[in-house]
Amino acid sequence: MNKQPELVKLIDTTLCTACRGCQVACKQWNELPGLKTKQLGTYQNPPDLQWNTWTLIRFQEYEDKAGNFQWIFRKDGCMHCTDAACVKVCPSGSLYYTPLKTVGIHRDKCIGCKECVSACPFHIPKYDAKTDKVYKCDLCYSRIKESHAPACVKSCPTGALTIGDKDAMIKKAYARVKELGSDANVYGDKFVDGTHVIYVLQFKPEVYEELPVNPKVPLSVIVWKDLLKPLSLLAAGGVLGGAFLHYMIHGPKYPDLPKDENTEGGK
Amino acid sequence: MTNHYCDLKNADVILIMGSNAAEHHPIAFKWILRAKEKGATIIHVDPRYTRTSARCDFHVPLRSGTDIAFLGGMIHYILENKKFFKDYVLNYTNASFIVDNGFNFKDGLFSGYDPKKRKYDKATWVFDKDGKGIPQRDMSLTHPRSVFQLLKKHYSRYTLDKVSSITGVSKENLLKVYEIYASTGVPDKAGTECYALGWTHHTTGSQNIRTMSIIQLLLGNMGIAGGGINALRGEPNVQGSTDHCILYGNLPGYLKMLSASLDTLDKYLHKYTPESKDPQSANYYSNYPKFFVSFLKSLWEDKATKENAFGYSWLPKMDDGKHYSTMHMFDAMYAGKVKGYFCVGADTAVSTPNSNKVRKAMENLDWLVGENIFDNETHSFWKGPGVDPKKIKTECFLLPAAATMEKEGSQSNSGRWVQWKYKAAEAPGDALPVGEIEIKIMAAVKKLYEKEGGPNAEAIVNLKWDYLDSKGHFDVIKVAKRINGVFLEDTVIEDKAKGTKTEFKKGQLVPGFGNLQADGKTACGNWCISGSYTADGINKMASRGKEDPTGLGLFPNWSFAWPVNRRILYNRASCDVNGRPYNPKRKLLEWTGDKWAGDVPDGPWPPQADRAKGKYPFIMQRDGLGALFGPGMAEGPFPEHYEPLEGPLEKNLLSSQRMNPAAEIFKSDMDQVANASEKFPYVCTTYSCTEHWCTGALTRWQAWLLEMQPELYVEIGEKLAREKGIKNGERIKVSSIRGEAPCIAMVTKRFKPFTVDGKEVHQVGMPFNYGWLFPKDSGSDSTNMLTPTVGDANTFCPEYKAFMVNVEKL
Amino acid sequence: MQITRRGFLTMTGAIGGGVALSSLGLNLNPTRAYADELGKMDRIKIAKQVTTICCYCSVGCGLVCSVDKATGKIFNIEGDADHPINERSLCAKGAGFFDLTEANKHRLTKVLYRKPYGTEWEEKDWDFALSRIARLVKDTRDKNFTKRNDKGELVNRCEAIGHYGSSNVDNEECWIMSVKSRALGMVYIDHQARV
């Protein structure tokens, strides 16, 4: 076949049991440490994605207006956008599109400017001050390019996580949504030119915590990318460019203020 | 499990009750969801809405400790509405048997109860027999003393109103579950039940399971693909460790432990070898002497002779009627009677109920030997909270053990698959496999007895104990072969039915327990596992064949399943009396006219319609049939609802007998009880979580897991939290009359109050995965500070699942 | 079983729905640009693959340990794709199996001894531990042995020593412990099957 390889990972939230095999498998493969946490009144821990946690199961107790209860589990992580804000803003070429159309990350090139952190509409990239670098899921690029499933997909017991050819996975997602009926919907194929991670959601997107209903590449990023970035890079190189962009968008403020520790992490 | 994990996919209805399968057996849940994909209905009955509930068709909350009431109501529903599978009930159960005239049941008690001893005399729990000694039957099932009619009468008291009032389950929900589950009482439908510690951890634990067994027999769900009763057991080799009976009451292969009154081998064998006069009952345990003598030979080989009754007198004997379970051991240790303690791969200072008592008891030890891969609260009890090491006399050893991937050997899963595992790496430092440590300790003890002698030294000195290889390491293959069994002499075995004679040479492995001998010609460490090697020495446990000829997921060439590689127990009951499958679409077994085809059948005999050669399907039962009437149980042949030792009610709503009349009550000064007390008004239950395992003794040391579940919490419903002014995430105190457990409040919609006897009853729940040793600064300790020393009357499995607590802001 | 390299490939190749990525007709041979991203996968390809069974719940899932042939150390553990029960997948505990190996700094590696009234563990060797434990066992047994019970029946038992565990060791080890306890005349014998 001459077709360009394009992979999509499908997260069917209606099959997830929140066993968190994926959350640990990710750390095992990517050799990410477990860090000290606190019990905050929820199973969700760490409370959010962080530099050492690239895939996170969010737990949410949801009761609809009629009083029907559902404990929602949603695996959060990089969506691998086709039109990825993080790649657009990255001044150093650390974030890049892989030949499989996923968003990879060359850690050695990362300069810790954190532009991607603020640009990402899904709040995915996380900065670690100790190494002064940004971290996020690369869809196990080292595995998928060798025809192996990403660690999370491989570990998933119930088929909530699957990966395959883009068209086939989108078709599969829509078939599942049809089977589920009601408010079930496919999330991810319609915006930022389509993501390479898509969801089957049981409820409308607005029900889910930390899930943007209409994610967009921020306008400032578009302005920057289309108008200013080439100039800036030309003038001052990547590092300065990053700082310039940062100043342009946010002013002289630190962009990734840690969240209040007592935030209920999606109970 | 009567069935096995992959078989769950074959079910039409799966009742998950007494289990939180998605959290504690996540991969089992894969097979449950596979059934769901094919249209099965999955029901979760549990006090709390869990990750399992989230993926089931529906969840029904039930007050902890009321499972028998719930299931008794289902029996009532099945019988009243004639939903049972009549052909099966008639032919494959003891429904038609006539019970002794003296048997009765009045106000919560069966005939023969002695309140002083808290025990039954079971003399009237027997069947009427004909002149030949065969149980009398009434195939019309109308005789007032038939098991069927007695069953009907017993459960007629379990009306929807009564059950709802006891359990706190709405009548609508009760009916919904009963209707859906009872729909499997037809030949082409299969219903299965998954339980776990949620059923066993009760004063009525064994009877919880028996109630479901009665339902499964009534619906014809035993012995079929997608059916059975499936214990999702909690530990990697708990099936194997049970099969090898590291248990006071049994010897390997579930052979009975000896008691003092059975002073000779003959008396012992007579007592435990059941006799049936019914020629159609295979009564497989009539082979008991072969299994037992072969076991004695495996211990002492040529030192065990006919003349010395194969060393029978060397084995220890328990006093008749006395029990020696964990709770009994710590009770005796607390009284200063136990001086030395081996704690291997366990953390009993966290896992045993009433941990305060357990830890106090350990201070009386002269010595403690621990074997483990990490330190834990038991090994380091002498430096625990509130303990001054300078006052503890105990001499302690903590021996470093190899982890599972650092040693070769076999492990048995709940589906009885004995799977071989290989050594991937050397254990770090001085660590050794537990087997090697134990062999070396015993070898050193043996040496001392050889030199110095001592009481009953023969038992030790004569022990065959050559299980180290030439390099001085654990020879696991040699032990595995000893377990399988070996011919000690040249032996000719005659099969009269087939008219064949087979010769075996001395030293050859026994190909299966059918070849074991009662005269000392064979040695077999555990008859159940016999057949795990072929006679030529091929290790079947290591088989990795993926063939699935029936399409039912039996995988007959993957590992070895005991007994004799049978994948589904009682499988002959999947066919009618002529050997035709009840459900041709899920054909587990079929009589082809001269043999059975499919799974390994429960015995080679023809189906039971052949009155001359045919046998009944439940071959391990003396009478060959499924026991609706089960006289083996301590508290009665029919399960009855009793309240837990501690509950919210002053009275049992069904009878004047509040708690299990046969459960043993421990009476030390630290065994206090607070039933229906205003000080401790909330029902509490305990459980594990996906991220930790048991006491957390392995998983708390692992950062990836600890990060997800870092410290002890209590799950509290929103209404109770509001009443108590407790906020989500704040540190609070949970207490029972026995102890306290500070922890984090997790306020949740997943616990809702129950309406019990017209009153609102709140329930809370806590994981039992934490202790003081690690993580160090969490301030949490064992949840078992709260739990009572009381257990099931048959098994002494402790009551961890229902007791009373208070919750308070700090 | 020490499975072949091909075995490992089928192991990891299985994707959702049982389809391998390569069977989707995709050209999965992109340029290998950065060596740091190749490391682990390349090591796996040349590693020894050894199967084991999970040591937590009783489902009995299969795992494959990848062992560095040069050092003999395990460096990666994943689910066994050939295993008929877990079919490659693992839960959180299984997926974290690697943290049970010696990579976990909390593992016990030395014989530890705490003398009566002592305040700390001391490191000892096996010879010390085995001979001292044997002596304690014999002395306790001999001193507290019950030849006959109150009724005068021969019982040959020792109620002064208890044994607990374990359902998380192998069958052959269980049998050894079951037999050892009986030969010593112990009756307080129990393990996790009851709790």
- The answer to whether the CB atoms of B707 and A46 lie below 8 A apart is yes
Question: Residue B647: its pLDDT value, please?
Answer: 97
Could B403 and C100 be called an inter-chain contact, meaning their C-beta atoms sit closer than 8 Å? yes
Strand partners, A63: A69
Residue corresponding to tokens 């991203």: C37
Q: How close B623 gets to chain C, by Cα (Å)?
A: 28
Using the Cβ of A95 and the Cβ atoms of chain C, whether some distance falls under 8 Å is answered with: no
pLDDT tens profile C98-141? 999 999 999 999 999 999 999 999 999 999 999 999 999 999 99
Please check whether residues A203 and A236 belong to one and the same domain. Answer: no
| Chain C residue nearest residue A8, CA to CA | C21
Please answer whether residues B249 and C193 qualify as being in contact, where contact means their C-beta atoms are separated by less than 8 angstroms.
no
Mean pLDDT computed over B483-510: 93
Q: A40 vs B729: CB contact, 8 Å cut-off?
A: yes
Which residues does B316 contact at the CB level (< 8 Å), separation at least 6? Answer: B258, C155, C156, C157, C158, C182, C185, C186, C187
Q: Do A124 and A70 fall into the same domain?
A: yes
Percent of chain B whose predicted confidence (pLDDT) is above 90: 98
Cβ distance B405 to C65 less than 8 Å, yes or no, reads yes
Q: Could you tell me which chain A residue has the CA closest to the CA of C45?
A: A146
Contacts of B765 in chain A (CB under 8 A): none
> What's the DSSP call for residue C100?
G
Q: Which of C74, C83, C89, C108 to mutate to test the interface with B (most CBs of B within 10 A)?
A: C108
As a CATH number, domain B682-809 is: 2.40.40.20
Residues of C in contact with A162 (CB under 8 A): 15-17
Locate the chain A residue with the closest alpha carbon to C23. Answer: A147
Q: Quick one: A97 and A124 in the same domain?
A: yes
What's the pLDDT score for residue A55? 98
Which residues does chain C have within 8 Å of residue B332's beta carbon, measured at their own beta carbons?
159, 188
Q: Are residues A29 and A91 in the same domain?
A: yes
Residue A162: pLDDT band by 50, 70, 90 thresholds? very high
Judged by a CB distance cut-off of 8 A, whether residue A253 touches chain B is no
Q: Is-contact A69 A63, C-beta < 8 A?
A: yes
Q: Which residues of C touch A165 (CB under 8 A)?
A: 24-26
Task: Give me the pLDDT at residue B496, please.
Answer: 79
Q: Using an 8 Å CB-CB cutoff, list chain A residues near B23.
A: 17, 19
CB contact under 8 A, B317 and C111: no
CB contact under 8 A, B479 and C176: yes
pLDDT at position A45 is 98
Residue A210 belongs to a domain with what CATH number? Answer: 3.30.70.20
Q: What is the pLDDT of residues B542-565, one digit of tens each?
A: 999 999 999 999 999 999 999 999
pLDDT-derived band at B780 (thresholds 50, 70, 90) equals confident
Enumerate the residues of chain C whose CB falls inside 8 A of the CB of residue B233: 57-58
Nearest-neighbour CA in chain C from B751: distance (Å):
25
Nearest to C37 by CA among A31, B180, B109: A31
Helix, coil or strand: residue B319:
coil
% of chain C beyond a pLDDT of 90: 79
Q: Amino acid identity of B485?
A: G
Among candidate residues B585, B615, B574, B624, the one with its CA nearest the CA of residue B220: B574
CB distance B331 to B669 below 8 Å: no
pLDDT for residue C72 is more than 80: yes
Q: What is the pLDDT of residue A219?
A: 82
Name the band, by pLDDT with cuts 50, 70 and 90, for residue A218: confident
- Optimal mutation site among A59, A73, A103, A146, interface C, most CBs of chain C within 10 A: A146
> Tokens for B188?
């082409």
From C51's Cα to the closest Cα of chain B, the distance in A is 6
User: Is residue B734 predicted with pLDDT exceeding 60?
Assistant: yes
Same-domain pairing of A202 and A245: no
**Which residues on A lie below 8 Å from C77 (Cβ)?**
28
User: Model confidence over B442-461: pLDDT tens digits?
Assistant: 999 999 999 999 999 999 99
Does residue A8 contact residue A198 with C-beta atoms inside 8 Å? Answer: yes
Out of 3.90.1010.20, 2.60.120.1440, 3.40.228.10, 3.40.640.10, the CATH code matching B5-235 is 3.40.228.10
Q: B774 to chain A: which residues are within 8 Å by CB?
A: none
The reported pLDDT for the residue numbered A233 is: 53
Interface test with C, best of B263, B397, B440, B467 (most C CBs within 10 A): B397
Mutation target for C interface from B5, B6, B237: give the one with most C CBs within 10 A.
Answer: B237
- Nearest chain B Cα distance for residue A54, angstroms: 13
Query: What is the pLDDT of chain A when averaged over all its residues?
Result: 87
pLDDT digits (tens, 9 = 90+) for B599-653: 999 999 999 999 999 999 999 899 999 999 999 999 999 999 999 999 999 999 9
Q: What percent of chain B has pLDDT over 70?
A: 100
Chain B CB within 8 Å of residue A175 CB: no
**A127 SS3 class:** strand
Q: What is the pLDDT of residue B229?
A: 97
Measured between CB atoms, does A45 come within 8 Å of chain B? yes
Q: C154–B324: do the CB atoms touch at under 8 Å?
A: no
Q: What is the pLDDT of residue A22?
A: 98
CB spacing of C92 vs A28 below 8 angstroms: no
Return phi, psi of residue A201, to 5°.
-105, 140
Residue ranges of the alpha helices (H) in A66-206? Answer: 85-89, 115-119, 141-144, 151-155, 166-180
B-interface mutation test, from A17, A35, A55, most B Cβ less than 10 A away = A17
Give the residue extent of every domain in chain B.
5-235, 682-809
Q: Give which of C119, C123, C175 to mutate to test B binding, by max B Cβ within 10 Å.
A: C175
Residues of chain B contacting A36 with CB distance shorter than 8 Å: 707, 710, 775
pLDDT of A217 reads 86
* pLDDT, tens digit (0-9, with 9 covering 90-100), for A58-89: 999 999 999 999 999 999 999 999 999 999 99
**Sign of the alpha-carbon dihedral angle for B701, B707, B708, B709:** positive
Q: Angle at which helices B171-182 and B67-80 pack, to 10 degrees?
A: 60
Closest-CA distance of chain C to residue B616, Å = 31
Instruction: State how far residue A172 is from chain C, nearest Cα, in angstroms.
Output: 11
pLDDT of residue C16: 35
The answer to whether B498 touches B479, Cβ cutoff 8 Å, is no
Assess whether pLDDT exceeds 50 at residue A258.
Answer: no
Distance CA B710, CA B691 (A): 10
Residues of B in contact with A19 (CB under 8 A): 22-23, 26, 29, 51, 690
A253 with A168, same domain: the answer is no
The whole-chain average pLDDT of chain B stands at: 97
- Is residue B30 over pLDDT 70? yes
User: Is A23 an interface residue toward C (CB < 8 Å)?
Assistant: yes
**What pLDDT was estimated at residue C11?**
33
Summarize the confidence of residues B452-474 as an average pLDDT. 98
pLDDT at position A5: 77
Measured between beta carbons, the chain B residues lying within 8 angstroms of C170 are 237, 240, 404, 407, 409-411, 421, 433, 435, 476
Chain C interface includes B649 (CB < 8 A): no
Q: Which of A28, A60, A71 to mutate: most B Cβ within 10 Å?
A: A71
Whether A161 contacts A13, CB under 8 Å: no
Given an 8 Å threshold on Cβ–Cβ distance, is A5 in contact with C17?
A: no
C34–A165 C-beta distance less than 8 A: no
With an 8 Å Cβ cutoff, is C59 touching chain A? no
Same domain membership, residue A255 and residue A126: no
> Is the pLDDT confidence value at B674 over 50?
yes
Q: What are the pLDDT digits (tens) for B769-778?
A: 999 999 988 8
Q: Which of residues 315-374 of B touch C (CB under 8 A)?
A: 315-319, 324-326, 328-329, 332-333, 337-346, 348, 351-352, 366-367, 369, 371-374
A165 and A177 fall within a common domain: yes
| C34/A164 Cβ within 8 A | no
Mean per-residue pLDDT over chain C, rounded: 86
Which chains have 3+ CB pairs within 8 A of A?
A: B, C
Mean pLDDT calculated for residue range C54-73:
97
Structural domain including A205 reads 7-217
Q: Is the ipTM of this complex over 0.90?
A: yes
Closest CA to A155 of C7, C95, B693, B691: C95
Tokens 């709802």 found at: B164
Arithmetic mean of pLDDT, B309-321: 97
Q: Give yes or no: residues A88 and A199 share one domain.
A: yes
Same domain? A78 vs A170: yes
C92 vs A19, A100, A148: nearest CB: A19
Report the first-to-last Cα separation within chain A, whole angstroms.
46
**Banded pLDDT at A266 (limits 50, 70, 90):** very low
Condensed to tens digits (0 to 9), the pLDDT of residues B706-720 reads 999 999 999 999 999
Measured CA to CA in angstroms, residue C141 lies from B435, B755, C183 at distances of 22, 55, 12
Q: For residues A32 and A43, state if they share a domain.
A: yes
Confidence check: pLDDT of B360 > 60: yes
Note whether B23 and B52 are within 8 A (CB). yes
Same domain, yes or no, for A149 and A198?
A: yes
A227 confidence band (pLDDT: 50, 70, 90): low
Say yes or no for a CB contact (<8 Å) between A108 and C36: yes
| Domain contains A2 | no
Tens digits of per-residue pLDDT, B783-805?
A: 999 999 999 999 999 999 999 99
Give B238-276 pLDDT, tens digit per residue. 999 999 999 999 999 999 999 999 999 999 999 999 999
pLDDT surpassing 50 at residue B507: yes
Specify the length of chain C in residues. Answer: 195
Q: Which of C73, C49, C75 is nearest to C63 (CA)?
A: C49
Check B430 against C111: CB less than 8 A apart: yes
Q: Is the pLDDT of residue C167 over 60?
A: yes
More confident residue, A235 or A217: A217
Residue B174 clears pLDDT 80, i.e. is over it: yes
User: What percent of chain A is predicted at pLDDT more than 90?
Assistant: 78
**DSSP character at residue B16:** E
Q: Look at residue A257 and tell me whether its pLDDT is greater than 90.
A: no
Mean of the pLDDT values across residues A42-60? Answer: 98
* Burial of B387 (C-beta count, 10 Å sphere; 0-12/13-18/19+): middle
Split at pLDDT 50, 70, 90, the class of A229 is: low
Local confidence band at B497 (pLDDT 50, 70, 90 cut-offs): confident
Banded model confidence at residue A226, pLDDT cuts 50, 70, 90: low
Q: How many domains does chain A have?
A: 2
Q: Could you report the per-residue pLDDT of B100-144, keeping only the tens digit for each? A: 999 999 999 999 999 999 999 999 999 999 999 999 999 999 999
